[in-house]
Structure 1
Amino acid sequence: MASMALTTGTAQAIVGGNPASTKDFPWLLSFEQLIQRSDDTVASWAHECGATLVGPNKALTAAHCVPGLIPDRARVVQGRDKTSSRDGKTVKVDSIWSHPEFDGIPANGNDVAVLTLRESLPGPYLTIASADDADLYTSGQQATIAGWGAVRSNGRLSGQLRAAQVSVYSEEACAEDYPTDEPRNGQFCAGFPEGGVDTCQGDSGGPFIVDGKVAGVVSWGNGCADHGSAGVYANVATYAPLLRHQIGDVPAEETVRAG
C-alpha cells in the first residue's frame, strides 16, 4: 500500500518493490529521530519516517511522524541508500510545522508537516502538487512510492531503499476498502485490488510521486499490501496553500520538471 501499514497511528520499506538508489531519488530523505529504546543505555539516531526535499531547507513529511517531537532530536539524511551506513549528508532540524488541525489520528486526515532545516541541501527539489493538478489523482494514474520501511506487515525495517509503482484508486474503490473508516479530510487511496505492492512501517511521511510532483504523503492503511486494503495518502494538492506558505519560494531551475 501507500500507508502506515500495520495499525492506524504508527509509523510505516516498500512491499513488492525493488532495491533503489538515492541517486535516482536525490530529494528523498531519511527522517531520523534521537530515540532511547527500553533496552538501550543511551539514545541513538534511528530512521523513523521518510521525507521529501521540497526546497533548499524545507522537507515535507507526515504530521503523525512529529507529534511532540523536539527539533533538537530530529534530523534528515540525504544520499543514504542503506540506513545502516554513514553515507550521505546529515542536517539537523531547526523547526517543525504540523497541520494545525491534525488530531493525532492519521485516519482523520490533515496528516502533513514541514521541517525547516538548519542548513540548505542541494537540489533538485520536488515540486508539490497544487489545485491545478487534479489529473494527478485520476483513477488508474500510475505513481512511484519509495522508502526504507518493512517489506511485510509486522516485519522489521529493511534499511535498504526500495521503490515500486502503484495506481490511484477512485473514491468509490477507496470507500469499498474502508467502509467503516472512509478516508476523508484530504486523503486518497492507491495500490492494487489484489494487494502485493504497498508502503509499510517506516515509509510514513515519504512521497507519492506522479509526473515529477509530490501528489501525496504516506499516511496510513490496514496491513501492508493486503488484499482489499489500499494504502491511504494525504492529498498534497488539498493542503497546497498551507504548505506553500511554509515552504516559501523555490528557484524554478532547481525543481524537478514534471514529465
Structure 2
Amino acid sequence: MYSRISNTLMFIGLLINQHKVSGNLNRVIGGYDAPSEFGRFHASLQNLSGQHVCGSAVVTKSHVVTVAHCVAGTEPQYVKIVVGTNDLDNGGLQYDAEVLNIHQQYNSSTRINDIAIIKISGYFDLQHITIIEMGYNELLEGDPVIITGFGAQEPNGESSRQMYAINLPVFSQETCRFAMRYSKEVVDSMFCTFTQIGQGTCHGDSGGPIIKDNKLVGLVSWGIPCAVGFPDVHTRISHFTEWIKEEVIKDFI
C-alpha cells in the first residue's frame, strides 16, 4: 500500500513540475459550461454588492446548505441567495437570508464539520427552483461525481458569472490523507476528488454542490488552490443528513 501511495504522490509531483514549466491553468477549472438545470438547485451566496462569494444547494423549500467557513463570522442581513440560473448576469431569483445555522462542532482550523444551513425569508419559487435530494449512501473510490461552481479561473482571480461543471472520480481516501498531511487532516466526514493538474476547484467554488445520480453527496470545502496537482477535499453529506434534517425540522415547528 505504501508503494501505491508513493507512486501516486510521485505522479502528483510530476504534474506540479509540469505546471511550473507550462504556467497554464485550464478551467471549476478544466470544466465545461454547466447545463441550465444545475442552476435550479445550485444557489450563489452573494454579498450586498452582488458579488458571488460561495456556492450552496437548495435542500428544502426554504433552506440551502453550504460550508460553514463561507458564513462564519457574518450576519444574515449581509447574505443574499441567488438561485434559478447558471448565469448570474441573466435571470435568477434573489432571496434574503434569515438564519445562519453553523454546525455546533465546526472547527475553522481543521475544517472538520464544515457545514451550515441557511434559512431564507419566505419560500423558494418551486416553478423555477428545484429541491435536490440528499444522498445517504457512502461514496466509494472511483465513483463518478459532478462538481459545479462559479469559482475563479486562477489563484486570487475573480469569481465567474457563468457556472461551470466538471466530472471527477472520488479519490482514494488513504492516498488523499497522505497527500494532504502537511495541510490538514482528511477525516471520515470528508472525501476527495482528483484526476490531474488543471482540473479541480478554485476560490469561489466553496460550498458548491457535488452530485451523483442527481443527489447531493458533497460540498466543496478545502484544498490547495487552484487545480495545481493536489486533491480537492469536500464535506461528505451522508455524515450530516440526520443533523440537517433535525435542524430543518426545528424551523418548521
Q: Under a length normalisation based on structure 2, what TM-score does the superposition of the two structures give?
A: 0.81
Matched position secondary structure for 1:182:
coil
Greater relative contact order (Cα < 8 A, sep 6+)? 1
Moved over 6 A (4+): none
Q: CA deviation at 1:129?
A: 2.2
Matched position secondary structure for 1:45:
coil
State the match for 2:111 in structure 1.
Answer: 108
Is 1:63 the equivalent of 2:68? yes
State the match for 2:80 in structure 1.
Answer: 75
Distance 1:195 1:244 in 2: 37
Structure 1 residue runs without a partner (length 5+): 1-12, 35-43, 250-259
Identity %: 28
Q: CA deviation at 1:153?
A: 2.6
State the match for 1:222 in structure 2.
Answer: 224
Matched position secondary structure for 2:43:
strand
Superposed counterparts of 1:1-259, under 5 Å: 14-34=28-48, 44-83=49-88, 85=89, 87-105=91-109, 107-121=110-124, 122=126, 123-130=129-136, 133-134=137-138, 137-180=139-182, 181-184=184-187, 186-192=189-195, 194-227=196-229, 229-248=230-249
Distance 1:88 1:46 in 2: 14
Distance 1:214 1:177 in 2: 26
Distance 2:130 2:249 in 1: 16
Q: CA deviation at 1:75?
A: 1.5
* Structure 2 CA distance for partners of 1:145 and 1:113, relative to 1, 3 Å: same
1:174–1:182 CA contact under 8 A, matched in 2: no
Q: Flag the structure with larger Rg.
A: 2
1:215–1:236 CA contact under 8 A, matched in 2: yes
Distance 1:142 1:61 in 2: 21
2:203–2:225 CA contact under 8 A, matched in 1: no
Q: Give the root-mean-square deviation of aligned CA atoms.
A: 1.8
Distance 2:122 2:188 in 1: 33
Aligned residues: 220
Q: CA deviation at 1:195?
A: 2.6
Matched position secondary structure for 2:81:
strand
